[in-house]
Amino acid sequence: MKRVIGIGNALTDMLVNLKSDSVLGRFQLKKGSMSLVDTKLQTEISKSVAGLPYSLSLGGSAGNTIRAMARLGASVGFIGKVGHDKTGDFFEQALENLGVEPIIFRGEERSGKCVSLISPDGERTMVTHLGAALEMKAEEIQSTVFDGYDCLYVEGYLVQDHELIRGAMRTAKACGLKIAIDLASFNVVEENLEFLQELVRDYVDILFANEDEARAFTGEAEPLNALNAISESCELVVVKIGMKGALIKRHEEVVHVGIMAAAKRVDTTGAGDFYAAGFLAGLCEGLNLRQCGTIGAITAGKVIEVVGTTFGEEAWQDIFRLVEKVKHERYLF
């Protein structure tokens, strides 16, 4: 596994720092969840938080992972759909600037946006209008898209279109690629449980989940039991268990990797995406499970120290330094 191409909702993130969780109750949003909404409701929610500090950045779960992998030196591409607008132009150019091969389709709707509501404790609740991202169709994902790639990384949020996600996986498998998926959000799993279980059984080789997602997927309350249950269908499984780190299983090998303590927990947006980026980048370099898990912990630990998923060159240089230590097994959790 040397080259990874991701597929996901091409989104721009609006990250809003809340003073309290009252807005979540007002709009009946489950804290920590992701909800798909129409543009009217998203605009109403945005107006309700007007005046609070916010920032804009490239978003989308798989997009976050692929962009971080590019910074880590991996050879990557990204498949997505945006509108015929300046936001779409910005999205595509930004991928190229980061060294990501863009496979970007254009739709009729405006480019998608995610309003990420960040609670005072750093937890994020996402309200997403997919816009043009919702127009991407399975027939657009031709086999030529996968030329030169070894792995397709799929964000669980694509489950809003069963035909698209199944079609992309089927085509990638026929081209000889491994399939990796992140389960995305516990409510997404709950709402699409039977379909996701079918996908994992039929196509998935590598699966990432946090303990809430793993519990929703398997019905097992204990993370280790959930890990073992998922491993019956998958070659490699990662179950993240919050402050306790992550449990990783490949065939009969099971390892536990701790976390890298963040200097400050500002915003959990993208933590799972960046964990997957570090882990997959390690796999692309042929590293062992503990090394891959440690790199994932490093990248996840760094991203929660900032609002959003964009941080400065100094932070990246610190990541590069730690990753080099991991490669020489001088820095493991």
Let me know if residue 82 belongs to a domain.
yes
Position with higher pLDDT, 242 vs 290: 290
Q: Give dist(CA 98, CA 230) in Å, integer.
A: 34
End-to-end CA distance of the chain: 24
Let me know if residue 173 belongs to a domain.
yes
Residue 329 has pLDDT above 90, yes or no: no
Let me know if residue 321 belongs to a domain.
yes
Average pLDDT of the residues in 227-241: 97
Let me know if residue 175 belongs to a domain.
yes
pLDDT more than 90, % of the chain: 77
Let me know if residue 292 belongs to a domain.
yes
Position with higher pLDDT, 267 vs 108: 108
Contact partners, residue 21, CB within 8 Å, separation at least 6: 31, 119, 120
Cα–Cα nearest to 273, from 116, 52, 106: 116
pLDDT digits (tens, 9 = 90+) for 300-320: 998 888 766 777 788 899 999
Buried-state track 177-188, b at ≥16 Cβ within 10 A, e below 16: bbbbbbbbbbbb
**Mean pLDDT, all residues of the chain:** 93
Let me know if residue 148 belongs to a domain.
yes
Cα–Cα nearest to 205, from 177, 170, 243: 177
Please count the structural domains in the chain. Answer: 1
Average pLDDT of the residues in 10-35: 92
pLDDT digits (tens, 9 = 90+) for 83-92: 999 889 989 9
Q: What is the pLDDT of residue 333?
A: 76
User: Which tokens hold the place of 262?
Assistant: 């963040």
Residue 63 has pLDDT above 70, yes or no: yes
Q: Give dist(CA 237, CA 245) in Å, integer.
A: 14
Q: Give the CATH number of the domain where residue 221 resides.
A: 3.40.1190.20
Let me know if residue 123 belongs to a domain.
no
Average pLDDT of the residues in 288-306: 92
Give the pLDDT band (50/70/90) at residue 12.
confident
Residue 97 has pLDDT above 80, yes or no: yes
* 206: containing domain: 3-11+59-109+131-327
Q: What is the pLDDT of residue 48?
A: 96
Q: Give dist(CA 135, CA 158) in Å, integer.
A: 11
Q: What is the pLDDT of residue 263?
A: 62
Strand order through the sheet with 112-118: 34-36, 124-129, 112-118, 11-17, 54-59
Global pTM reads: 0.88
Q: What is the pLDDT of residue 58?
A: 83
Q: What is the pLDDT of residue 307?
A: 66
Let me know if residue 46 belongs to a domain.
no
Query: Per mean pLDDT, which range of 17-31, 89-103, 106-120, 305-319 is the poorest?
Result: 305-319
